[in-house]
A and B are shown apart, each in its own frame.
Chain A
Amino acid sequence: MSDLRSRVEVMKLARELGIAEADLEFLRPVDAGALRDLRGSVADALFANHRSRFELLAALTRLLPNGITARIAQHALGPLLSSRIAAVLKPDDAAGLACHLPASFVTDIASNGDPGRLLPVIARLPEDLIVQVGLDLLDRREYLTLGRFVSSVDLEIIMRVVERATSEDLLAVGLFTEEPAALDGIMRRVDDDTLGGVVRAAAAGGHFDDAVTLLTALSPESCARLMQLAARFDEPTRAGVVTAIIANDVWPALMPAIPDVPADALAGFVNLPETADPAVVESIVRHAHGLDASAAFAHVLAVADAEHLTVFESSPALADPAVREWATAAGWKATV
């Protein structure tokens, strides 16, 4: 899982530095949390380096009518510097100025801006302008920007953009969303067709890793709902999801959701050939025991078919007396 999240962080850092993701490929082995901290430090350094100049330009705007300042922003400063200056303006002034700019330029500013610094400005923008910018970002497939801003915008406003988004869009935005709670809020509001479509989109594009990243970012309830919807797809699609779960070793993130997945849906994942691999079963048992996820373990056992139960029985983990005692308490009964 760390690999997936690290990849996303490397993409965001590359954007911050204005370079290609490939140029920072060597950072992929680094923990995602450390990369996120680094990105924050880089953003702070870039901002702090010229802060006094931004403040002088902000002071200039107070001498001029908004119309002229808007022309300066568009034709002299450009979106990156404008986003920096917006962050040092009084939020009311910055929001007032934004209303004199074409929505497309505000979208450019959003693409270059730091949502954290612009939060007070965003809170003062007219709702229709925020929605227009969100739709422009969707049209431009600026998923990284959308993902970063999702947690800075009121959920009701976000939903006006989301209702125009495809499942492919949601999959991509979900990958970049920085606040799992904000992402979860959106996913709770989208209908089953759209949410299930995220899995279809992942299958169509071969982006199962992205779908799994999304799964692990959701609350247990939303994760269980998405797994239930994903279970309706054909075996190759379910196998694609499970293969990504195995490859990224995200069982710990999924364990809290498993008890809420209906039995027939869970069976669609548990009884695949991919999960009959002794190494996979061993991993599931070890993680379940390590997390004391007895409810999840019991649910998996309850839906496993005879072939998979046999693999469980031969798991070296269950030969460990401590694990076996725990598993028995969770409902494990030796059958072989």
Chain B
Amino acid sequence: MTTDNLARLEGQLRLRDGALSAFAGIPDLDLGRLADAIDDALRRESQALEAGTQEALGFVPGPLRAMAAKLLFPRGAR
């Protein structure tokens, strides 16, 4: 049986419906904890990437910094 959180996991991981059928016996609450853990990992990595990219700019020599900023933030300077 596909539970709400099993479907959520398959969506998070971009898997076809039923790909995680081996996990159908796990209580839905626990599957929710797993899905939350994946969301947390994605969020932590996003935050680290955002901070790391900003910090990286500080190491770029002055003459190249504008070009680097345009490269790293193509939708506009942060």
Q: Do A and B come from one complex?
A: yes
Q: Which residues of A contact B (CB under 8 A)?
A: 16-19, 23-24, 26-27, 29-31, 34, 38, 41-42, 44-46, 48-50, 53, 56-57, 59-60, 63-64, 68, 71-72, 75-78, 80-81
Asked if A60 contacts B52 (CB within 8 A), the reply is no
- Residues on the B chain within 8 Å of A77, using CB: 52, 55-56
Closest chain A residue to B59 by CB distance? A72
- Residues on the A chain within 8 Å of B71, using CB: 56, 59-60, 63
Q: How far is the CA of A31 from the CA of B56 in the complex (A)?
A: 42
Q: Which of A23, A48, A50, A78 contacts B46 (CB 8 A)?
A: A50
- Residues on the B chain within 8 Å of A76, using CB: 52-53, 55-56, 58-59
Q: How far is the CA of A68 from the CA of B65 in the complex (A)?
A: 13
Q: Which of A31, A68, A81 contacts B59 (CB 8 A)?
A: A68
Chain B residues touching A, range: 35 or more
Q: Which of B23, B27, B67 contacts A34 (CB 8 A)?
A: B23
Asked if A53 contacts B59 (CB within 8 A), the reply is no
Q: How far is the CA of A46 from the CA of B15 in the complex (A)?
A: 14
- Residues on the B chain within 8 Å of A81, using CB: 45, 48-49, 52
A129 to chain B, nearest CB (A): 23
Give 6 CB contacts A-B under 8 Å. Answer: A38-B13, A41-B19, A50-B45, A57-B72, A71-B59, A78-B52
Q: How far is the CA of A29 from the CA of B13 in the complex (A)?
A: 21
The 4 closest A-B pairs by CB, nearest first: A34-B22, A76-B55, A26-B30, A76-B56
Q: Which of A46, A60, A63 contacts B41 (CB 8 A)?
A: A46
- Residues on the A chain within 8 Å of B67, using CB: 63
- Residues on the B chain within 8 Å of A75, using CB: 55, 59
Closest chain A residue to B25 by CB distance? A29
